[in-house]
Structure 1
Amino acid sequence: MSSPDTIHLNQSGPTEFIFRMFSSSPKVQALLFCFFLFLYIMILCGNTAIIWVVYTHISLHTSMYFFLSNLSFLEICYTTALVPLMLSNITEARKPITLAGCATQLFFFATLGSTDCFLLTVMAYDRYVAICHPLQYTLIMTPKLCTQMVAGSLGLALSLSLPLTSLVFTLPFCGHLLEVNHFFCDIPPVLHLACADTRVPQAVLYVISMIVLTAPFLIICISYVFITITILQIPSAEGRQRAFSTCSSHLTVVFLQYGCGSLVYFRPPSTTPADEDWHLALVYTFVTPLLNPIIYTLRNKDVKNALKKVMSKKDSL
């Protein structure tokens, strides 16, 4: 009897993958397609609005908003690497993806997701300097340093994602057409389809997850310990509230991003229900990229004021 994760095991030809169906009901498929398409459009519009507002308003040309606009750009690229293919597989007959196509999607997912985590760490450092060393802020957070930190985040992510992707896709896969128990090519479900010992790739994945998730999260926590101590020493209640409000937006995104990532990549594969990983993946594919612009817009007076100016200009035309 064949495994539920393999289809046409004995067929010859190049290895291809198909993704798990969300539902077999055409009505449910149509509803899901419309719902996910709506979320995707909102992600694109919200993050594009953040980039445009930061770019067009001189008052927002600071390191904090430079990092925010880069985070929004990452979210656009990140969701675009996953969602269009996912949408095409909801309503149409499931189209196979080639081994190279699956490897490419996994590489972009890992690279952009890792860069996102490193950039959130950079943003925590930016808040630490702004609150704990306000007089030296402009001297420390120069445009050159900010650009180097963003480039360094991307470079580190590339250096981790490329060997991991190569290691996963040099494994042999059993069969011609394999079903990935997911809606995109993520590492754990792809490793599950390999017909070879996966202990080495699993160990490498664990180490890289420590570098991408645990180390940055510890740095963020340490930064916010110093930030909290400094904020509590601010004499005025209004000053403390404003400082906490600035940090709360960032912390909300951090806990969503790192919480979901840790639940997926730090549990032993044998104790990880496939459906649970599937649901968590929907959170960091749709919820986090959608919440980023909403959180930073609603809880940031500078961005709200800039958006209000834009809307008032449009109304006056």
Structure 2
Amino acid sequence: MWPWLGDPLATAQRRADLWRLLGPRPALPAPPQGELLRRESTDACRVEHWSLKLNNVEPVPALLLRPLDAPPRGLVLYCHAHGNRFAMGKDELLLGRPALLSPAYGEVLPAMGYAVLAIDHWCFGERNRNSERAMAKRLLWEGKTLWGYRVHDSLTALDWALAQPGLANLPVTALGLSMGSTMAVWCAALNERITQCIDLCCLAEYEALLANGNFDLHGEYFFVPGLCAEFTAAEISALIAPRAHLSCFGRDDPLTPPTGARMIDESMQQAYAALKAPENWRQIAFDCGHQETAAMRTHVLNRLRRVVA
């Protein structure tokens, strides 16, 4: 097991090492700020449309959902998927997508008492002005990474949300599928303010993806220079421990080969046991591919209910 596990100073250094690999973050000369563009209500929630200042390059469109009839009891950082649906972005929260079960999480979570934050990641939704491939190449030339820019915006948006009225002291869950799964894991690994992580359909050990060649199914954004020389996927996930972490995957999903998922599970069982919190880690396999199933949704909602109970 990793020598830094359980040592706060050494763990903080490992987080700093992970940030270093992501490259320089986009500058933010002031605390994150937001402009409320409009409000509307649905049958499920109050919807706030924001333009956030999270970096010095471009504004970040965001959705903030609030429960209809009561103050929120928890906050979800909702991380949208990829699937080459560059026009979708944060609207996945309200509209769903084929790989996700219906109804969309934007309908379900506020009814459970959650406020929900979702942003358009670089090259998605209202930020779909630049090619993802071109942006990844340009940032690499500059010694930066597209993944680092996306993680920066996610965590800076969370900082902004936690400064909003009624949200400051709420427990935070990072939740996502596919690219959103990876974002949820990295955000929780890098920010201890996140109470729990729920990742769907993406967490597998890099070694297994290299062995079967399926690493090439991931987009350019997934690859951080030098990452495998310093971290395994399990070690990144271990930075979440001992906080709660539910990881779900499909046995027939080429992005999560069973061998790679098993490697994660074995390492996390050891890590959480060493930190005397074995009940906070759970990995569950489902008979499906790269998609959320009804059984998977049930486990996700059960985890979320524990936080706001």
Give the alignment's TM-score, normalised by structure 1: 0.23
Name the structure with the higher helix share.
1
Give the alignment's TM-score, normalised by structure 2: 0.23
Name the structure with the higher strand share.
2
Larger radius of gyration: 1
